Structure 1
Amino acid sequence: MKIIRNIARRPWPRIGGWLPVMMLICGVLASCSSEDESTAPLPDGKYPLQLTAEVAQPQTRAGGKDAWTGGEEIRVSLEGVFGNKTYVMDASGNASPKDADNAFYWKNTDEARVSAWTPDIESETDISDQSGGYAAFDVLYASAIGRYDQAINLRFIHRMAKIEVILKAGEGITEEELEGATVTIFGDPLTHSTAGLVSPGDQSDGEIKPYYDAATKKYEALVPPQDMTGKPLIRISIGSNDFTYTPETEAAGKFGFFGGKRYAYTITVKASGIEVTAAKGGTWNAGGSENVGVTITYDGTETEPKIGDYYYSDGTWRDGGLRKLYADGTMEWAETKPQPENGKNVIAIVFHAGHHENDASDYSATGIGQQKCHGYAVALQDATNGYCKWGVYGTELGCCPTDGSGKKQNNYSAPDIDWSGYAWTQKIITAAGGKDKLNATEDSGYPATYYAVVDYAHKVPSPANSTGWFLPSIGQMWNVYQNRASLFEGKTVVSGLKSDWYWSSSEFYDYPARRALYVSVRNGDVFRSYKYSRSSFVRPVLAF
């Protein structure tokens, strides 16, 4: 059952009702500001938006959606064009405008971002009874960048978190008793959604009746992202007995659900109580996992580095608490994150172990002393107290990956292909006329690189067996952003990223002479900006 309420005068919980409007306005303004001599206008009504779509994290069986059956409506927005429109999916994954009034047409040849969501719920929804399935409020969202001359593929992800419960009979409980059990999920029974964004309805605690999949013997329920610290999560009722499970808090002293993540619990019910095995944090589609080790002995440089490890001023590292790494990139951490080694000075946190396959930098001339590095670490603090410029407008430096034929690769839509931050930083230093010519006041001094390479190095010297600090590439900065919670939470020595913008050393592949790329923490995306724009912070990294 759904409850639809008039919420026109209710404040938007957490996110803010103004956010979708502001994002749309910013999209229009960004499109206007991005046009230059390389952008050509297109005839009105000649180049329609072409869309295909898939669900990137499929949900199996009747509970949610795993494929298009045809007739589903998705709501679509196009960067630079005011208003949203409705497209209809067919069973093959192709989308067409609902009617002539709902067709988007490209205005110019510049790239633009397309966002889509389904269902288009602009109301508060009661999710307390999911026994019949949850497809009606299984909010999917997708975003991609493309051009007028290509079909854009949208990979939809789930905005809600999914809870799965499997019951097993233990000592004193029969299979017949287990089949008669009642499972209840606790959490906010109301959700609020707009433009594909989901939040709890009123932050209250309530009961949710889950969907039961008889084939897999799983109880399943969707919940909005929310803080469940210290709160009961699951109740199993068998006869007159109730068994309640309250999750343990994580290293940061909290426990919460995140959108798009799957939280699976296998609960053995005994007459005397319950035993719970949790596998939390993976995406909805089940994936394999890599065991990093439950008990690990660390002895400085003789141990291979891991994501989240502390990196010290003497060039060594120590366990930061990573215990399991899933195939989808999700990480599990020690219940209590280890503290830094006494008497040592932490200067960074490892954010990638080993030499990344998309890093074309040669580290032979650095303190590493060989072509490939052992890993990458991010500084504990920003190098700037405010926004700074990137550098000279109108000069291409070659800070963009290329293929074998020398063609520039799209590091805007696919930032992970660009990990050569050290190589790009060296190109920027050369363009400035040397490290001593870098400065904070002139475009020719490449301020963003100055703050990373010179200013921050004066404050926090780097080890001799490292590269020294440099301005990260867009792939490196994007990785830090994506894993910011795992890297920074529970570690008192580090300051997390601001809800703001962070420069990379990468030039925008399409207009490399004029624009550089940055990561928007507040929007969770990659953007391009003019190099002379004073618009972003700097967070240095190093390789070791």
Structure 2
Amino acid sequence: MNKITSNIRNYSFGLILLSCMGGMSCTREADIDMADTDGVVFSANIGQASRRGDNSWTGGELIGMQVGESIKTYRISDAATGAMVTDDEPYTWTSGEYQLHAWSPYTDKSISLTDQSDAEKMFACDLLECNTTVNAQSVQLTFKHKMTRVWYELQQFPGYTDEEANNAVISYYGYPSIKYAKGIIEKEGEPNTEISTRKIDDRHGEAILVPGEMWDKPFIKVVIGGDTYVYTPKHTVATDEERWTGVLKEGYNQRYYLKVSKKGIEVSMASSSVGWDNETVDGVTDGKYKAEIPSNLNNPQITGVENGIITDADKSFSISYTEDGNGGLLYEGNCDVQRTTDGTTHTYTFSKIASDIKVSYTPDYLKVGKYYYSNGTFGDEAVKEGYETVGLVYKLGASTNNYDTDKIDNYSGSGLKSITGYIVTLTSSTDKFSWAQGDNLETEFASFDNSDDEEKSEGNMYKGYTYTKAIETALTNAPGSSPFWTAFKNLIDTLPTPEGTSGWYIPSVAQLQDIANSEIATTINFTDSYYSSNIYHVNVTEGMDNPHGANANDHSYVLRYNVGDNSISADYPSDPFGKLIVILTF
């Protein structure tokens, strides 16, 4: 390593000593053999980071060195060791100590920040500084970063395709340029200039910005699928305030996780001051997130969390507990959640975690009017970002009526293990239609189970699932002959079916009456005439009444429930009177 000699001795200057990041010292002695000279051997590294660009120093970087009023220019002569040389009269040391201020790049020109589209351009915006004490003949300068390194991940994009996400253009807003005289940042312009980013891959990128506050200022811009979204951090938004998303901290590597949908843009942030050397894009530099888990769970089983820290390498964890009532878990934070249940043991799996997660238990998790989502969770929002809305809770608890108590036996083959309540879809068939075409179903329904004819005609059985399965069996040999059944299949094909439920079925008359009498009837505009799953098979040869006039043929009718006058009627196959809505049991 090159040695520098001079005649300066015993300096003691009162320059301000700035603290290094993370409480680290700005100096440490280099492991160098000393020669018979009073010259100081300088070498340099950058914080705990070994990179300035894709390796350490690239060589030739200019460094300003100041002792008192004396300023000299050094440069990196050996990129691997950080050795420094100067064409000026070098600084020396024989005894005592003095303060040294160093910075890089050493230039009096403006440094443009607007184009950071590749690594070379981005790292040209990196500003370094060190304040240290010279008290030996060998001094290694440890520089800290003066700017803020910002990184993004386009994490969720409901409503857009993978191709649109991969081609999204993401940029930051900030100051267009700065000057860096004597290690002091002089901002130029206003922080409203768009800064291009270095794109790491399809979903990740980064840039280097001037530290400061961006509250109530446009900060992150996303152009995706022809739409443009701009994120503006606000003090009035609790998550922004808690995470300080609007503050660019000197020397920090701040990571922003973006969720973009037609509703707008949501942002969460994590940061670390432990150097800039973590080049991976699968986590924050400190690598850990916290999980706050409620203590009032029954028989909890928790995986992936230790001492409040999410330890799983894939950044996921799960909580299982038993619940016989209507409680459940709520959460705050940026993640995906999947809820599964067998009726008493409930498991919540948290994945794709990009922030601290706070989980809480609420005994009012389930109630009539709650929306049910495709991930098995419940909530008050008609639209849940990242998931499909399955339907609305219209009744809790197993139903009891004059003829039957709803029980698991009614759901044979569904895999349902308990009955918590019932959910109705948000939409019905758009048009009224006949339940069958002509008389071609009579042969198939001749073998239909008629043991409950009286009860079915009065509509008091809570057996919509059982009846729907019986209709399916009866229609096996007559596919496509019933608009009623075709509409049912088309409707359920568009609906997600969460685990742990019965799956979708056609409600019985009793269940349609419950929907009409529930709190959510107006929410789904439940005001029309709806087909039930009650089939009324009339055997004319046995003398039973035929509502359409006696003749020589048997007839099968579907019972239709009219919400307006609470009436039940048996429709002849060609009567185009009914609509269809479906439910499930959970």
What TM-score results when the alignment is normalised by the length of structure 1?
Answer: 0.42
**Larger Cα Rg: Structure 1 or Structure 2?**
2
Q: TM-score, with normalisation over the residues of structure 2?
A: 0.39
